[in-house]
Structure 1
Amino acid sequence: MKDRVLFVDDESNVLEAFKRQFRKLFDMEVAPSGKEGLQRIAGGNGFAVIVSDFKMPVMDGVQFLSRAKEIAPESVRIMLTGYADVKTAIEAVNSGHIFRFLTKPCPPELLAQAIAAGVKQYRLIHAEKELLEQTLKGAVKVLTEVLALTNQEAFGRSTRVTRYVKKIAARLKSSNTWKLETAAMLSQIGCITLPEEILQKFCRGEALSVDEEAVYRMHPAVAADLLEKIPRMSEVAEIVACQENRFDGAGKAPVPRKGEEIPLGARILKVALDFDILETAGRSQRDALQEIKGRNGVYDPAVVAALEDVIRMDSGYARRSCKLTELKENMIFAADVRAMDGRLLITSGNVATRPLLQRLNNFSQTMKIRQPVEVLVPVGDWVF
């Protein structure tokens, strides 16, 4: 498959020459102005290289390529000009918008070499980004599955909280959805270092001793330290580190921030985590919300208002009873899953991931499991 190249020039004869010279080498498109060039880029054609003339009416080459960089930052940009203007060349290259600067008339073989170099650069950028994204997603997946297999209480809490974080972020029109969801899912990863009895007491809503409280409050810092070691996860780590910060700055937070100095993701996470504690303790959504609203200075008022909207508009989940063989990924366990002898296998609130389902299947080979299993599925998703 040929790499896509866009040529932009206000002279139709130049565009025709480009078509004749390069149609066998590249998948070409042409545009007679910067405006039309931007329209083609915005159309999502995914150009590897964008070649533009400098001197064009209304929008010159520097202006066009600067706008093109905003729309398609991965595309490699080349500028052609009939004016050997050193000042223009320096401005274009130093602004960071231009990969090559060539003067007209430019021999076809030289232009072809420049475009080929641009294509190579594009492939390198694209491959590096894809590798990093896959590595990042893989690391997050591994950490999530480790939490699921080693600490049911913490994993259940993180999955419940993530649902609220996603909905609150949507109400606030946040643009960093992936980072917020990742921070929510990994917010409890530091709990793997906690003694089991401390975490269970906390999840049951029981009072912790002074020493136990001090140990528990360390888990966000532990999680943030782990996440900082993963490339491109610094912002997620900061959200996790600030998850217990009060909006008014009171208290002893590991990272002293207050108000809008606290990342939005951390402000959302704080509300979602505390709301989950109240719900887990048996409070209704309405009572839990009133409790949250009554804690002056603890939360960002805008986030609390968004939570109220989520609760009001949430259509909820349908509760179903399933056999083990009917369980599917992404179902939510609505009740604890236990063996016939009473042993706890999976706590309520956990999402049915592949490792959890495999674990349940392994257990079923050696012991009897209480059935049916109670699950939650989004309304409309259940298939009989």
Structure 2
Amino acid sequence: MKVLFVDDNASVLAAFRRNLRKRFDLSMADSAKAALKILEKEGPFGVIVSDMKMPGMNGIEFLEKAIEMSPDSARIMLTGNADQETATEAVNRGHVYRFLNKPCSVEDLIGAINDAGHHYELMKLEHNDLQRTVAGCVKVLTDVLGMVAPFALGRGQRLKASLIPFMEVLKMKSPWQYEVAALLSSIGYTSLPSELISKLESGESLTGHESSVVRGVPVIGYDLVSGVPKLGKIANMIKYQRKNFDGTGFPKDEVAGQSIPLGARLLRVFEDRMELEREGVSGAAAHEKMRSRTGHYDPQVLELCFKYYPDYLSTSISKEKPVHSLELDSLKPGHVVLSDIYTVNGVLLVEAGNWLTAATIQRIRNYAVLEQVSGPFYVQVEEES
């Protein structure tokens, strides 16, 4: 089991190494700053043992930062001053699993580390179960969105496709949260009447009341997503995706500037740029158009977006890949649709540029049984056989 010890006393670290090196896979750090670098390069660790009083950054502050980098680690604090205030702060901020008073016997330390290691293994199992649950919830939500508002799912798919390489270049932490936020950014559309969704799909002008309803979509999306475990931050990204950087816009509250979640600021820039490209405005013209919208966007995000994508955002359709004409039975999840798929009654099933999902394919099959849609369907595939 990997154990990280953090103490500014070199003699203490030497004693840890001498007494424990045969029992555990040890890493040592003589400061909180050095420990964070070790976590970044060598983590995650099963157990983190930290002294409380250290110069520069104390144990509570260190463990609070360590949670972001190694959230499942069991944390033990060594302290000679375990007063109630320190203990409360350590539990609330550092999520400390156990306290040990200094000086601590080798036997007590080994016992505490073994107990913490068992806790770490249990937390990993629970975390994996929770991840599967969250992934299942996200899949259900995207499937429902694809059935109710295919154009909205397609927009989320394209936002995700543009954000993934952008986040990789910027080396952003927890990129999965931004990917899910992009994919579910329009989940609130599931609450809209079908007539209004049809108008949005066709690009028709909306009445004042209809526009007011559409403005509330991000908050509805927040309500739908916030109830899913581990998606609280994502829900906030969805809630504030239409908020202007200067604090105007929706929802009407005091949140503005850097207080707006980064994911929301990213969605605002990328979604508006994607809309301009749909209207035929791209590259420098789109850049100038968005710059002229004073107060709408985070300036840094806007400039980085056009620096990375000077001409166009990512597109699912490739000039290099061949076009396949397939019958319904040959369609598979991940195929990119090259032209809108409508029923004979004008119901949009999948918009051009969307990736097919298992749910959208099943929906096409259901309409095909009713003889309301038929192939061939023109697609591009991710991998050639």
Q: Tell me if both proteins adopt one fold, taking TM over 0.5 as the criterion.
A: yes
Distance 2:185 2:331 in 1: 27
Gaps of 5+ in 1: none
Q: Which residue number in structure 2 is paired with residue 44 of structure 1?
A: 42
Map 1:214-293; keep pairs closer than 5 Å: 214-251=212-249, 253-255=251-253, 257-280=255-278, 282-286=279-283, 288-293=286-291
User: Post-superposition shift, 1:363?
Assistant: 5.2
User: 1:330–1:353: 8 Å Cα contact kept in structure 2?
Assistant: yes
RMSD of the alignment, in Å? 4.3
**Equivalent pair of 1:340/1:370 in contact (CA under 8 Å):** no
Cα distance between partner residues in 1 of 2:128 and 2:211: 42
Q: Which runs of 5+ in 2 are unaligned?
A: none
Change (3 A) 1:243 1:17: closer
Does the Cα contact within 8 Å between 1:333 and 1:347 map onto a contact in 2? yes
Q: Is the 8 A contact 2:218 2:241 kept in 1?
A: yes
CA contact (8 A) 1:223 1:240 kept: yes
- Matching residue within 346, 366, 374 for 2:379: 374
Q: Offset at 1:151?
A: 2.0
Alignment of 1:335 onto 2:339: yes
Q: Quick one: distance in 2 between partners of 1:42 and 1:271?
A: 30
- Alignment check: 8 A CA contact 1:7 1:31 kept: yes
The residue matched to 1:137 in structure 2 has which SS?
helix
Distance 1:202 1:354, change over 3 A: closer
In the TM superposition, residue 268 of structure 1 has moved relative to its aligned partner by: 1.9
What count of residue pairs does the alignment treat as equivalent?
364
* Alignment partner, residue 318 of structure 2: 318
Report the CA distance between 1:283 and its aligned residue. 1.2
Partner of 1:146: 144
- Structure 2 counterpart of 1:29: 25
Give the Cα–Cα distance (whole angstroms) in 2 for the partners of residues 54 and 254 of structure 1.
43
TM-score (norm 1): 0.74
Between 130-139 and 7-16, report the one with greater CA deviation. Answer: 7-16
Q: 2:121 is matched with which residue?
A: 123
1:345 maps to 2:349: yes
Is the 2:242–2:249 Cα contact (8 Å) retained in structure 1?
Answer: no
Distance 2:338 2:239 in 1: 30
Structure 2 distance, partners of 1:264, 1:344, is 33
Bigger radius of gyration among the two: 1
> How many angstroms does 1:31 deviate by?
6.1
Equivalent-residue separation in structure 2 for 1:7 and 1:261 (angstroms): 35
The one of 209, 212, 237 equivalent to 1:211 is 209
Q: Percent of aligned pairs with the same residue? A: 28
In structure 2, relative to structure 1, the CA distance for the partners of 1:295 and 1:371 (3 Å cut) is same
Task: Give the TM-score taking structure 2 as reference length.
Answer: 0.74
Matched residue type, 1:321: V
* 8 Å contact kept, 1:220–1:241: yes
SS in 2 for 1:275: helix
- 1:383 maps to which residue? 384
Identify the residue that residue 113 of structure 1 maps to in structure 2: 111
